Structure 1
Amino acid sequence: MSDESRKEREILVVMRKVLAQIIKDTTPPSRAMKHPLSDQTIQDVRHCLGLISLRERELADAAGVAQERPYFTDEPAPADVVPISRIGKAPKKDDS
């Protein structure tokens, strides 16, 4: 990844975090309350977040980086890693 694309990625991450924090700070505690931002501003923020996400994906694809996706810590691993030393050996049986 070049210095230019690394810097662009850093800028996009900061922009995404700032927009997310603005959303958290302005979201009313109850759905019954009116949101302080206009509907058009909310749509514009969503559009900005979509563009940021799209550009981050383009930069990751260009750099050959695997797509980053969130995951749960208790989610099972997609594959079991087997050490080479265990390949071909029969599993140990209990003498019970």
Structure 2
Amino acid sequence: MNDETAKEREIMLVMRKLLTTIVREVTPEHKSLRHPLSEQTIQDIRACLGLITAREKELADDAGRTAQERPYFVDEPPATKVVSIAEIAKPKQDEEK
């Protein structure tokens, strides 16, 4: 990954985190209370988050990574199984004739 792509990925991450934090902070705890954002602002935030997600996916695809990267616990089984060379069975050769 080149420096330009890494920087863009970092910008997308910060923007996504900022937008979601703002929404979380202005959302009232009680459902009966009205939030201070207009419906248009909510739609604009959703559009921005959609564009950020789409660009993050493009960057991940270009870098050969999955867009669904997520943290995992060390005791969590890996998504793929690693096989050592010693475990690979040698192909059976035709017995001598």
Same fold (TM over 0.5): yes
* 1:66 Cα offset (Å): 2.4
- The verdict on how the C-alpha distance between 1:21 and 1:77 changes in structure 2, with shifts beyond 3 A counting, is same
Distance 2:46 2:76 in 1: 29
- The TM-score normalised by the length of structure 2 is 0.73
Distance 2:48 2:80 in 1: 36
Match of 2:58 in 1: 58
Task: Give 2:42's aligned amino acid.
Answer: I
| Worse-superposed segment, 46-55 or 58-67 | 58-67
Match of 1:40 in 2: 40
Match of 1:26 in 2: 26
Match of 1:92 in 2: none
Number of aligned residues: 88
- The TM-score normalised by the length of structure 1 is 0.74
After superposition, the CA RMSD in angstroms is 2.3
- Secondary structure of 1:65's counterpart equals coil
Q: Structure 2: which 5+ residue stretches go unaligned?
A: 90-97
Match of 2:93 in 1: none
Does the aligned pair in 1 maintain the 2:56–2:67 contact within 8 Å?
no
- Secondary structure of 1:66's counterpart equals coil
| Worse-superposed segment, 41-50 or 59-68 | 59-68
Match of 2:49 in 1: 49
Distance 1:70 1:80 in 2: 18
Q: Structure 1: which 5+ residue stretches go unaligned?
A: 89-96
